[in-house]
A and B are shown apart, each in its own frame.
Chain A
Amino acid sequence: MGLSSIAYDLGSGLNGPMSISHLSSPRQQLAFSAKSCSRACITVRAADGNSGSMRAPPSTVRASKLVTNAVAVKSETASIAATKSGHELLLFEALREGLEEEMERDPRVCVLGEDVGHYGGSYKVTKGLAEKFGDLRVLDTPIAENSFTGMAVGAAMTGLRPIVEGMNMGFLLLAYNQISNNCGMLHYTSGGQFTIPVVIRGPGGVGRQLGAEHSQRLESYFQSVPGLQMVACSTPYNAKGLMKAAIRSENPVILCEHVLLYNLKERIPDEEYVCCLERAELVRPGKDVTILTYSRMRHHVLQAAKSLINKGYDPEIIDIISLKPFDLHTIGNSIKKTHKVLIVEECMRTGGIGASLRASIMDNFWDYLDAPIMCLSSQDVPTPYAGTLEEATVVQPPQIVKAIKQLCG
């Protein structure tokens, strides 16, 4: 046939490893491989001369319509062929992809933080970017959170679009003054003269026995700073989309990631897409009860949902995504349908996201509620080191099941 070998890897492709030997010509074989998976690694050694285009350029495989996939809700408008494409990756890789695409698109986008450059990022989110974009665009800073966050805000005042990486969200407490007073408020106090298009991102939340100081949930501290926007990503799909949206936003955005979600694997579209910073995600439609959650707790809720569905309940699960401002439109529509709400969050009981969300719902949807809003949060304690104790500080799936039983009867 002329082609000596084709090696390709479609990962755990939807139909299992593919065989293309039934296709007649080498060109057909090649075209098929390229269309199926643009991330397939294809090495072709052609013996004959008529194989002109060895590799179809990626742009030709991008569909012109936005393709939605990789979530529980299957839309009937999505075509079968479209759901086969896409590439699988881990959450931290999705963040990197989003970051890299935005840095290519706009030369003003730069990253700064500790060990983001040569080291590649402590969670590998910026791996390879310093080699590609240079040291000034992927800047290794000394350990001075207050100052380099301030520096990013100052650079943003002139028009650059920096992304500040906190190695752990908890370290950004040192930069609280800069985030609250300068980042959040300068647009207002300057009468609109300055925009601060900064993205502040980093992993937070309770990990695996990291200790109290490295298991903080800063979303509760930042939520009342005026002028800031806050989102929390929970899957590779929304991680990439929210990263891109946050970078493109003219407002300062805090992107809350979670230490334990970086290795989550998912298939995401090849086409470029941007998520909406203010829209909540309907993970599973239902009619019995509305479960509002975000970040890691989404996955605990989904785990609990499996046993709830077996027991006959029909929960509607919404990942709120936008922590500031809340997407009351999506949440409200759900409450109007189900009349019962359970909030599952990782923040502490006092002053957390759940507390504010509860107040918001009561203010706006009181008449639609058939039962008091239940809120499951972490305990108001510093996170202990011992594994058993640490498990007890955060909400676990059995507690969620129990709460739903209590709420729905």
Chain B
Amino acid sequence: MASDQQKQILQYLLYKPLVSLKDLEKIYAAAYERQGRGEEIRDLVRSLNDLLKPAQLGIKSRLCEDNNEEYFALINMIESEAAKHTSEFSPAEFELFKWVLKEIVSSESGSVSSIDCINQSSYIQKLTKTDAQKALDKFLASQWLNEREGEVSLTVRALLELEPLLKKLDEDLQNCKICSKLAVKKVACPDCGAKFHRYCISKLKLKCPACHRVWRSLEEESTPSQMSLSQTLSQTSNPSTSQVPNRRNGGIRRGRSHMESDDSE
């Protein structure tokens, strides 16, 4: 039997299934009329999960891939008939949604531009560009997708609840080898190809746990295909950092030729 406060919190979560840790602290404070300590928040989630078990629902948490903050989501633990047949989206909207998911998981950046999403409407029947914009707004409002600076990516809710679907859409999708959670926004080790979250590998001071190679910087190690791009980019900036110490010795002697040979290496 849930307490009144637990009922209030559950009803709130039905309405807004995705909350950050800070939001959850505020919710706790609103329901219990006092600040909750860290342990109490965890206990709350645990007790709510016990209550939710018979309905095959649960509150799961993970770190957001963008800002490394912890988020909690009320999700379905099974693929229920109820959820399958009562979608909040029309068939055309759902087709767009699946396309967006596929694009996001197959991309390197884990995102797709909102303009591309809207243009995709030309390939979907019964979906005009205005419909596509409305659909995109719906996805954002129901907390499945995030948009930042025109790039659309997955929320923690989508990462937690849609994991089986995402793995089906792209077979190469892996879990981050460090935190073992699904990695959509990922970086790959150029030597062994293992995928990690940016935050995860930064915490390990850029040392790949699989092959023990130490990366020089996050930017260089994006992907093998981007290596050439990042090499030319780092050339224009690196001479000032790594090559100046070397040049100091020869700089006085080389003098004028120093300036000309700057970008030729």
Is A bound to B?
no
Chain A residues with CB under 8 Å of chain B are: none
Chain B residues with CB under 8 Å of chain A are: none
